């Protein structure tokens, strides 16, 4: 039987504080959920890793060679004033495993060891629990769609000194592509959520909260029972802000389709015409453009990401 849902099925905005891990009720009652993480993010290690890479260009280049397709340490903001004004380090279990031992030996004391331990602990503890909670909300077992641990660890440094030091754009408005993300913050405000009931209205998130929010894959796989929240980061000139994000996505071969037909979804989505691998590639291209790491075809301004995805998903 077809599931009837409204196009933006959001409930009250007020985030709930979940003890240790969110319950079904937490997820149903809010667009974002505050979670109590198993461990705090090691922000001094994260800062030390960014500082070491910024001060040692040869090391940064060697790290980027590990994933030569796109690089790991991205610093486009130091030369491009129009992109998001931040530095990023994009790690993942597979990429970490490819870092040569000599480079690991150099980077471990400069924060990499603590960062890896942190993400491993958070992944092992929170990912299965959150997948189980989302499954309960969706009335669909999402665990078989997440068997490969398709996760990415992103460290972000909203450094004061960039190509556009007065820009307020830390991270442009977007919706994450995957199933869910956990955002750890160093205490500095800047993260904002779009109010579910009032698109275009931005609500600041406390700088010390750890946030769980869902992405497009969750919307589609749960037949719209779970909402994805648009968010952005505003930067305060002169103020450094660090964050660490764990992105969890379905396995790449999973079809982006609901378990049962959803009348408000497009035919392509209802029929499962595209898979997570394709979706990730399309989203990734626009994301990299916004972050200054890739050119887009002429006529594609890259800022329409959410609108394009909405057209793809909704009828």
Ligand X SMILES: O=C(O)CCC(=O)C(=O)O
- Residue ranges that bind ligand X, judged by CB under 6 A: 154, 156, 171, 176, 183, 185, 191, 231, 233, 243, 245
Q: Give the nearer residue to ligand X in terms of CB position, either 90 or 114.
A: 90
Q: How far is the CB of 245 from Fe ion (least distance, A)?
A: 7
Q: How far is the CB of 293 from ligand X (least distance, A)?
A: 13
Q: How far is the CB of 260 from ligand X (least distance, A)?
A: 30
Distances (CA, A) of 314 to 42, 102, 224: 40, 49, 10
Q: How far apart are CA 236 and CA 250, in angstroms?
A: 34
Q: Give the nearer residue to ligand X in terms of CB position, either 33 or 243.
A: 243
Q: Is 114 in the site for Fe ion (CB under 5 A)?
A: no
Q: Is 157 in the site for Fe ion (CB under 5 A)?
A: no
Strands 87-91 and 150-158: antiparallel
Q: Give the nearer residue to Fe ion in terms of CB position, either 48 or 305.
A: 305
Q: How far is the CB of 185 from Fe ion (least distance, A)?
A: 12
Q: How far is the CB of 176 from Fe ion (least distance, A)?
A: 4
Which range binds Fe ion by CB under 5 A, 52-60, 172-180, 234-242, 259-267?
Answer: 172-180
Q: Is 194 in the site for Fe ion (CB under 5 A)?
A: no
Q: How far is the CB of 270 from Fe ion (least distance, A)?
A: 27
Q: Give the nearer residue to ligand X in terms of CB position, either 283 or 313.
A: 283
Q: Give the nearer residue to ligand X in terms of CB position, either 137 or 245.
A: 245
Which range binds Fe ion by CB under 5 A, 142-150, 170-178, 217-225, 258-266?
Answer: 170-178
Q: Give the nearer residue to ligand X in terms of CB position, either 140 or 174.
A: 174
Q: Is 192 in the site for Fe ion (CB under 5 A)?
A: no
Q: Is 176 in the site for Fe ion (CB under 5 A)?
A: yes
Give residue number: closest CB to ligand X: 243
Residues that bind Fe ion (CB under 5 A): 176
């Amino acid at each position: 039987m077809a599931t009837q849902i409204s196009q933006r099925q959001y409930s009250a905005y007020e985030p709930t504080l979940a003890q240790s891990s969110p319950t079904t009720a937490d997820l149903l009652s809010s667009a974002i959920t505050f979670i109590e993480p198993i461990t705090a993010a090691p922000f001094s290690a994260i800062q030390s890793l960014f500082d070491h890479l910024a001060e040692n260009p040869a090391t940064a280049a060697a790290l980027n060679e590990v994933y030569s397709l796109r690089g790991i340490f991205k610093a486009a903001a130091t030369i491009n004033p129009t992109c998001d004004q931040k530095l990023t380090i994009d790690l993942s279990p597979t990429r970490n495993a490819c870092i040569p031992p000599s480079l690991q030996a150099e980077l471990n004391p400069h924060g990499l060891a603590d960062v890896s331990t942190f993400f491993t602990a958070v992944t092992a503890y929170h990912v299965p629990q959150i997948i189980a909670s989302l499954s309960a909300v969706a009335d669909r077992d999402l665990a078989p769609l997440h068997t490969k641990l398709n996760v990415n660890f992103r460290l972000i440094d909203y450094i004061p000194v960039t190509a556009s030091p007065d820009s307020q754009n830390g991270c442009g408005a977007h919706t994450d592509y995957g199933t869910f993300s956990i955002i750890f913050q160093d205490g500095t405000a800047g993260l904002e959520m779009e109010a579910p009931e009032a698109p275009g209205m931005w609500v600041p998130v406390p700088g010390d909260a750890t946030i769980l929010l869902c992405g497009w894959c969750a919307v589609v796989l749960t037949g719209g029972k779970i909402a994805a929240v648009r968010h952005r980061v505003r930067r305060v000139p002169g103020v450094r802000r660090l964050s660490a994000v764990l992105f969890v996505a379905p396995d790449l071969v999973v079809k982006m389709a609901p378990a049962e037909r959803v009348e408000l979804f497009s035919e392509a989505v209802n029929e499962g015409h595209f898979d997570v691998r394709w979706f990730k590639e399309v989203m990734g291209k626009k994301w990299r453009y916004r972050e200054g790491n890739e050119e887009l075809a002429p006529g594609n301004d890259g800022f329409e990401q959410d609108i394009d995805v909405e057209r793809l998903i909704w009828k």
